[in-house]
């Protein structure tokens, strides 16, 4: 398909799955990250520091048609101070890319931008984030939306939800369960498990991300999700059974996080339309 796609954070948990989908459809893929050993050798590698404040970074990174910005430190540590410290650096990188000529930017967001909310999350759902991670993501989104209004820029903000799959490499509860079982642990400290979330497999998320960035008609906030809520207990118990893990959940050992909603899921209207309008639905 020939579109030049640059991915930051390409060696991360989601990035490798996105790269695989892009290669399958014939996109021209390049990558920038701090670690490259797990990136497909077919991908062009740029060993650049995206936080260098280099105003010529767009040209130095190959003048891509679209940049998928997934690089983010401490994504699973929601109250790491790195989120706030790096915020202006993320903005400056994107600003320099746009000033250099970038016309389409796709950024990985998070449902944690919304904060405490019960029910479906839509594009216009008010945001009141309750963690440094959510605050930083929300601030970046707001600033980029203003940038997009002021410049000839297509901004596609991908709001991701609760991801599973390829769990050996993840820092999610599913990855922790596998590692605990492999270490011979018989009990796994757990919350009440009553909260309901929108779970999406990493391969499905990758397909949705690729569908978003390969089209230019639909922009703004795009929920990449399943569109339904499942209790954490149900999802984890199912995971244990499918993977035949010899481990038992200890319910109530950990308190539920104050900023987690009782039940939350994404409005998948936009992503369903995007998938239906592209050739990617059968990937």
Please state, in angstroms and rounded to a whole number, the distance separating the CA atoms of residues 226 and 233.
18
Q: Are 140 and 158 in contact (CB under 8 A)?
A: no
Please state, in angstroms and rounded to a whole number, the distance separating the CA atoms of residues 57 and 159.
26
Residue 131: CB atoms within 10 Å: 21
Which DSSP helix (H) or strand (E) runs through 63? none
In angstroms, what CA-CA distances link 160 with 28, 65, 80, 181? 24, 23, 19, 28
Question: Which residues carry out catalysis?
Answer: 133
Q: Are 196 and 230 in contact (CB under 8 A)?
A: yes
């Amino acid at each position: 398909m020939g579109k030049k796609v640059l991915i930051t954070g390409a060696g991360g948990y989601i990035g490798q799955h996105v790269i695989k989908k892009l290669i399958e459809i014939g996109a021209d893929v390049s990558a920038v990250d701090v670690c490259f050993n797990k990136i497909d050798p077919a991908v062009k590698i740029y060993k650049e520091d995206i936080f260098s404040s280099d105003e010529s970074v767009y040209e130095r990174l190959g003048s891509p048609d679209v940049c998928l910005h997934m690089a983010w430190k401490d994504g699973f540590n929601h109250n790491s101070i790195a989120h706030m410290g790096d915020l202006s650096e993320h903005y400056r990188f994107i600003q320099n890319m746009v000033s250099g000529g970038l016309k389409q930017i796709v950024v990985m967001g998070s449902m944690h931008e919304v904060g405490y909310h019960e029910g479906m999350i839509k594009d216009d759902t008010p945001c009141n984030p309750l963690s440094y991670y959510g605050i930083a993501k929300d601030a970046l989104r707001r600033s980029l939306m203003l940038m997009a209004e002021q410049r000839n820029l297509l901004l596609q903000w991908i709001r991701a939800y609760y991801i599973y799959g390829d769990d050996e490499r993840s820092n999610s509860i599913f990855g922790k369960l596998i590692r605990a079982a492999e270490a011979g642990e018989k009990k796994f400290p757990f919350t009440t498990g009553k909260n309901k979330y929108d779970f999406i497999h990493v391969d499905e998320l990758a397909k949705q991300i690729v569908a978003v960035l390969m089209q230019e008609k639909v922009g703004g906030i795009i929920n990449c999700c399943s569109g339904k809520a499942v209790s954490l207990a149900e999802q984890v118990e199912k995971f244990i059974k499918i993977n035949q893990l010899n481990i038992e959940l200890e319910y109530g050992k950990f308190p539920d996080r104050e900023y987690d909603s009782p039940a939350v899921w994404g409005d998948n209207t936009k992503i369903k339309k995007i998938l239906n309008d592209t050739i990617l639905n059968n990937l």
